[in-house]
Amino acid sequence: MAVIRRLESGRPIVSLVVFCVLALLFASAVELRAQTPTPTPQLQSVEDKGTVKVRVDLVTLTLTVTDLYGRYVSGLSKNAFTVFDNGVEQEITYFSDTDAPVSLGILFDVSDSMSGTKIAKARHALERFINTSHPNDEYFLIAFNNRAQLLLDRTRNGEAVLDKLTLVNPRNNTALYDACYLGIEKVTRGTHQKKAMLIISDGQDNASRYNFGEVRRLMKESDVVVYAVGILDGRDSGSSEGMLGKAFLDELTSVTGGKAFYPETDVEMDEIFERIALELRHQYSIGYVPEDFQTDGKWHKVKVKVKPPRGLPRLTVRSREGYFATPLTDYK
C-alpha cells in the first residue's frame, strides 16, 4: 500500500523517468564505445571488403646482411644500422631480427620452355625450399604459361603446393609479367608482415598483357622482396632470349632487395633453393617515419649502411632501393 501511495504522489514517477533516461544514455554510450574501431598499428595492413590499405608514412625495409663469404649475419642491434632517405639520415623507430614467418608467392613457369626435365628438377628443389622454410609460412601458388593461374590461395600446407605441381605438363607460351602482377596482388593481401615472391622460370616472356617497365614500376612500389631461380640450360644461356630473360630477372630482383640465381647443376639448384629459404629466416626488419613526409608521388632513394661490431670484417647489407611517396594505396 505504501508503494501505491508513493506512485500516486507523482514524485516517484519523475524519479523513475529520470532513471530510465539515464539507463538508456548509459547503454548508448556502451554501444558507441563498442562500435569505435581500434586504431590500426602502423605495421599492419587493414583489410576492408577485399581491399588492402597500406600506410606509406611508415617506411619498412627488409634487410639481408652477409659477410665477405656470403654467410648470413644475425644478432646485430638497431645501432648497427643507419638509414638515409634521399641522403638525409633517419631515426629508426621499429626494429626486429626475429625468425618471423613470411607470406610468399611462388610463381612457377609451366610453359613449353620448361619442358623436358626442367620442371621435375625445379619441383624437387622447391621441396627442399619448403622443408627449410618457417613452419608458419603461407603460400600463394601461381602457375603460368600463356596465362597466369592461381592454383593455391593462402595455404600453410607445403605438401599441397608440391602436390599441385606433380601432374603439370609444360605447354604454350610464357606470361611471366602477368604472373608477377598476380603474385604482387596476392602476396600484398598476405597475413604476415614479411612478404616475398619466388620466381621459378627461364625469365622469358612472350604472352603477357603487361610489359617490363610496368612490372618494374610495380615492384618498386611494393614492399615485396623478390627472388628468382633461372632454370636455364646451355642453349638458353647462350641465346638472345636467354640473355634477355636473365637481365629481366636480375633487374626485377635487385630493385626489391632480393637476388637472382642461375644454378648450373642439380646439386647447385637444391643448394640455392635452401639458401633462399634460410635468407628469409635470417633477415632484419626496420622502419622509420621520414621527416616532413609528403604524398607527392616522388621517388625516394633509400640507402642502408651497416657497421660491423668490433672484430668482424666488412659486412654487406641488401634491401630495396627506395619507394614512391604515394597516398594510402589500395590493392584490389
Residues 85 and 144 grouped into a single domain: no
**Mean pLDDT over residues 189-199, rounded?**
96
Residues 203 and 309 grouped into a single domain: no
Query: 285 and 320 in contact (C-beta within 8 Å)?
Result: no
Kind and range of the H or E element at 105?
A: strand 102-109
Residues 270 and 293 grouped into a single domain: no
Q: In this structure, is residue 276 part of a structural domain?
A: yes
Nearest 5°: phi and psi at 224?
-110, 125
- The whole-model pTM stands at 0.80
Q: In this structure, is residue 218 part of a structural domain?
A: yes
Q: In this structure, is residue 41 part of a structural domain?
A: no
Residues 202 and 113 grouped into a single domain: yes
111-155: per-residue pLDDT in tens? 998 888 889 999 999 999 999 999 999 999 999 999 999 999 999
Alpha-helical runs (H) found in 155-293: 158-164, 176-188, 212-221, 234-238, 240-254, 266-281
Q: In this structure, is residue 40 part of a structural domain?
A: no
- Exposed e or buried b for every residue in 281-301, given b needs 16+ CB within 10 A? bebbbbbbebeeeeeeeeebe
246-268: per-residue pLDDT in tens? 999 999 999 999 999 999 999 99
